[in-house]
């Protein structure tokens, strides 16, 4: 029981990071359908600036973590998993690209959009969960 | 100060903050940044249906569900306390194009002329929200990640499969926004 309580507490820090992240999402209008449309029409630099600078900061951070063998708060070594290539990254990537331009959202922004009061996006989220479930059902029959 | 926070944040503030999520999650608990996995965990927790892909101990990944619940709360906080009262400022070309499809309300993050409970059962509303959402869930899992897991975490860790995925996300988005969406929005 005690273990369970500490688990809850330990997970609250992720809730906090998520909340900060959600605030940035909304305040920088990354969760705006209109910003995504601008991005895919090359009408604004905004999203390219956001994603580009995020990747740059992420790259430098991961490089520093590896170089100085930074440990987690609990003192564990940080492990990073390599991504294995399969054709899913092409087929699935294209399909997700379609969905991204239609909904104006990747999975993260869906949660933020619902938070901002766009309650109908619950339907989009449920449909995304259904899509994930359908992938699980069909996984072995799909080309990878 | 609060006025400054309430204005839309520029990319050079938002991008680096998002990038810092990568080391924050690694240092807090050895977690790799990724959001679409949360959808898989929800399936595993609620509707596993004896499918192998959902037979794993999702409780070990519960941090990810806390994280996305946090994103939802962040959305509430941002709109309740830090909201900018002005409509989203978008490129005039986009305003003109969308006007042709009877999309004229720029006051919200989603275009309520096509994305609202009322438009859910219109053909174009259904396609955008229901079919679009399905493609987001199916495509991200098929690709093994989304913008966060591949484009940000994967590229940060110099993973070339993530670069392939990111390029395909963009190609798909360009094709949809420029070739297919005009047809859908005209419905």
Please name which of A40, A49, A23, A13 lies closest in space to residue A104, comparing C-alpha atoms.
A40
Angle at B172 between CA A29 and CA B18, to 5 degrees: 35
User: How many Å lie between the alpha carbon of B2 and the closest alpha carbon of chain A?
Assistant: 13
pLDDT of A53 reads: 97
Interface confidence, given as ipTM, is 0.96
Give the residue on A whose Cα is nearest the Cα of B25: A14
Say yes or no for a CB contact (<8 Å) between B117 and A132.
no
- Provide the whole-model pTM: 0.95
The answer to whether the CB of A107 falls within 8 A of the CB of B140 is yes
Q: Between A and B, how many residue pairs show a Cβ–Cβ distance under 8 A?
A: 501
Using the Cβ of B103 and the Cβ atoms of chain A, whether some distance falls under 8 Å is answered with no
Please name which of A48, A28, A13 lies closest in space to residue B13, comparing C-alpha atoms.
A28
Say yes or no for a CB contact (<8 Å) between B74 and A115.
yes
Structure tokens at A30: 């990354």
Q: How many CB atoms lie within 10 A of CB A77?
A: 9
Which residue stretches of chain A are H helix?
2-27, 33-40, 46-67, 88-103, 107-115, 121-138
Using the Cβ of B42 and the Cβ atoms of chain A, whether some distance falls under 8 Å is answered with yes
Q: Contacts of residue B136 in chain A, CB cutoff 8 Å?
A: 96, 99-100, 103, 105-107, 110, 124, 128, 131
Per residue in B86-118, pLDDT (tens digit) is 888 899 999 999 999 999 999 999 999 999 999
Using the Cβ of B18 and the Cβ atoms of chain A, whether some distance falls under 8 Å is answered with yes
The whole-angstrom distance between residue B75's C-alpha and the CA centroid of its chain comes to 12
Q: How far apart are CA A17 and CA A10, in angstroms?
A: 12
pLDDT tens for the 144 residues of chain A, in order: 445 556 788 899 999 999 999 999 999 999 999 999 999 999 999 999 999 999 999 999 999 999 999 999 999 999 999 999 999 999 999 999 999 999 999 999 999 999 999 999 999 999 999 999 999 999 999 999
Can you name the residues that pair with A77 across neighbouring β-strands? A71
Q: Is the dihedral of CA B57, B60, B63, B69 positive or negative?
A: positive
Structure tokens at B58: 């999702």
Domain ranges of chain A: 83-144
């Amino acid at each position: 029981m005690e273990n369970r309580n500490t688990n809850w507490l330990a997970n609250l820090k992720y809730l906090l990071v998520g909340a900060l992240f959600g605030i940035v999402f909304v305040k920088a209008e990354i969760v705006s359908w209109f910003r995504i449309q601008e991005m895919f029409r090359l009408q604004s630099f905004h999203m390219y600036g956001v994603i580009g600078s995020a990747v740059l900061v992420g790259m430098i951070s991961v490089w520093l973590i590896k170089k100085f063998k930074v440990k987690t708060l609990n003192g564990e070594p940080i492990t990073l998993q390599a991504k294995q290539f399969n054709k899913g990254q092409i087929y699935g990537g294209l399909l997700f690209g379609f969905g991204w331009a239609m909904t104006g959202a990747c999975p993260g922004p869906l949660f933020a959009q619902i938070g901002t009061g766009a309650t109908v996006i619950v339907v989009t989220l449920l449909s995304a969960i259904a899509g994930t479930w359908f992938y699980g059902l069909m996984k072995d029959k799909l080309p990878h | 100060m609060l006025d400054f926070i309430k204005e839309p944040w520029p990319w050079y503030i938002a991008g680096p903050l998002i990038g810092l999520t990568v080391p924050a999650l690694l240092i807090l608990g050895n977690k790799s940044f990724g959001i679409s996995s949360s959808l898989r965990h929800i399936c595993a927790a609620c509707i596993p249906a004896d499918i192998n892909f959902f037979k794993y101990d999702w409780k070990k990944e519960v941090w990810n569900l806390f994280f996305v619940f946090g994103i939802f709360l962040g959305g509430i906080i941002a709109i309740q306390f830090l909201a900018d009262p002005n409509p989203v400022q978008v490129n005039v070309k986009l305003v003109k194009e969308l006007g042709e499809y009877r999309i004229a309300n720029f006051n919200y993050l989603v275009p309520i002329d096509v994305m609202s409970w009322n438009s859910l059962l219109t053909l174009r509303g259904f396609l955008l929200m229901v079919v679009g959402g399905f493609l987001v869930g199916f495509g991200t899992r098929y690709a093994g990640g989304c913008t966060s897991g591949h484009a940000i975490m994967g590229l940060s860790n110099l993973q070339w499969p993530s670069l392939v995925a990111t390029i395909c996300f963009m190609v798909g988005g360009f094709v949809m926004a420029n070739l297919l969406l005009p047809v859908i929005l005209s419905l």
